[in-house]
């Protein structure tokens, strides 16, 4: 009887302490995010803190619901594998795929990832879309294994355009093919290209034609993150986005963007 009473008192005191100590009730909500350095979306600053558009949104919303975040640098495929196995909790910049939805909770869309055709200004190639570019007989460089939207992929796989598609095994080789004038233009994300050659050179030497925009989400492991936490995150993310949170964060990094914040918005 005395043991039961003492235990009850201890449980009651613990509950009081958890209510008094700030954040104590959310002590278990410490998530690990897998990432690769990709300015201006997620990258380390001079002090090693992971910052960027995606990282700041993820951290801000998690803080709102009482969770902390630690970033671990991982290749993309390994990040997905570890999320599937519950060894990594979350990641950023994920397009929707049915197979991923089997092992991860998807957030609502928070950002667009632009795909553009970049064409040297000296080439005098004029097109208003990817379809028009290909219909006019121009050749196009792409990277093996890169994710392209379903609409882009449909055009790349169309039999009538296959002879116009040149494939590079990695992005660095695509740039060498461009320098050698192997094609009329190539598909890329403008920020990725700017990271290689610089934003000023991109603007000075190339024209950009919008091909499509990939809608991106945050992913949360179903093995290591509760459905309740994922739901809380999603609800709070929607509230923040509805009040302009994306632009509030994006504007801090807009000088690093070639396309501008409006181009990345899902609105």
Whole-number pLDDT of residue 178: 96
- In this predicted structure, the answer to whether residue 244 has a pLDDT above a threshold of 80 is yes
Query: Average pLDDT, stretch 137-164?
Result: 95
With b for 16 or more beta-carbon neighbours within 10 A and e for fewer, the 117-154 pattern comes to bbbeeeeebebeebbebbeeebbbbbbeebebbeebee
Task: In whole angstroms, give the CA distance from residue 14 to residue 265.
Answer: 45
Whole-number pLDDT of residue 13: 35
Summarised one tens digit per residue, pLDDT across range 3-31 is 333 333 333 333 333 333 333 334 479 99
Whole-number pLDDT of residue 207: 93
Summarised one tens digit per residue, pLDDT across range 55-95 is 999 999 999 999 999 999 999 999 999 999 999 999 999 98
Whole-number pLDDT of residue 114: 87
Whole-number pLDDT of residue 26: 41
Summarised one tens digit per residue, pLDDT across range 36-63 is 998 899 999 999 999 999 999 999 999 9
- In this predicted structure, the answer to whether residue 135 has a pLDDT above a threshold of 80 is yes
- In this predicted structure, the answer to whether residue 2 has a pLDDT above a threshold of 70 is no
Q: What is the pTM of this model?
A: 0.69
- In this predicted structure, the answer to whether residue 164 has a pLDDT above a threshold of 50 is yes
- In this predicted structure, the answer to whether residue 212 has a pLDDT above a threshold of 70 is yes
- In this predicted structure, the answer to whether residue 117 has a pLDDT above a threshold of 90 is yes
Whole-number pLDDT of residue 263: 75
Domains of the chain, first to last: 27-111+215-264 (3.40.190.10), 114-214 (3.40.190.10)
Whole-number pLDDT of residue 99: 97
Helices (H) and strands (E) in the chain, counts: 12, 11
Mean pLDDT of the chain: 88
28 torsion bin: left (phi>0), alpha (psi -120 to 50), beta (else): alpha
Task: In whole angstroms, give the CA distance from residue 249 to residue 56.
Answer: 7
Q: Which pair of tokens denotes residue 213?
A: 């925009």
- In this predicted structure, the answer to whether residue 126 has a pLDDT above a threshold of 50 is yes
Query: Average pLDDT, stretch 215-228?
Result: 97
Q: Check: CB of residue 217 under 8 Å from CB of residue 61.
A: no
């Amino acid at each position: 009887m005395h043991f039961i009473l003492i235990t009850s008192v201890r449980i009651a005191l613990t509950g009081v302490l958890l209510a008094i100590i700030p954040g104590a009730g959310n002590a278990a909500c410490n998530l690990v995010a897998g990432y690769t350095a990709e300015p201006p979306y997620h990258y380390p600053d001079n002090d090693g803190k992971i910052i960027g558009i995606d990282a700041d949104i993820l951290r801000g919303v998690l803080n709102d619901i009482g969770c902390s975040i630690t970033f671990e640098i991982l290749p993309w495929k390994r990040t997905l594998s570890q999320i599937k196995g519950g060894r990594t909790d979350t990641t950023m910049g994920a397009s929707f795929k049915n197979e991923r939805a089997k092992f991860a909770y998807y957030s609502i869309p928070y950002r667009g990832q632009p795909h553009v055709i970049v064409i040297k200004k000296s080439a005098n190639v004029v097109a208003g879309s990817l379809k028009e570019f290909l219909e006019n007989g121009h050749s196009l460089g792409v990277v093996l294994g890169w994710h392209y939207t379903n609409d882009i992929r449909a055009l790349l796989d169309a039999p009538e355009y296959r002879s116009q598609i040149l494939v590079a095994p990695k992005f660095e080789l695509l740039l060498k093919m461009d320098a050698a004038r192997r094609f009329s233009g190539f598909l890329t994300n403008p920020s990725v290209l700017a990271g290689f050659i610089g934003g000023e050179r991109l603007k000075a030497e190339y024209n950009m034609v919008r091909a499509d925009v990939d809608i991106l989400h945050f992913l949360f492991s179903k093995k290591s993150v509760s459905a309740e936490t994922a739901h809380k995150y999603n609800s709070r993310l929607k509230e923040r986005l509805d009040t302009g949170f994306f632009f509030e964060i994006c504007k801090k990094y807009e000088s690093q963007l070639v396309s501008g914040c409006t181009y990345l918005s899902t609105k």
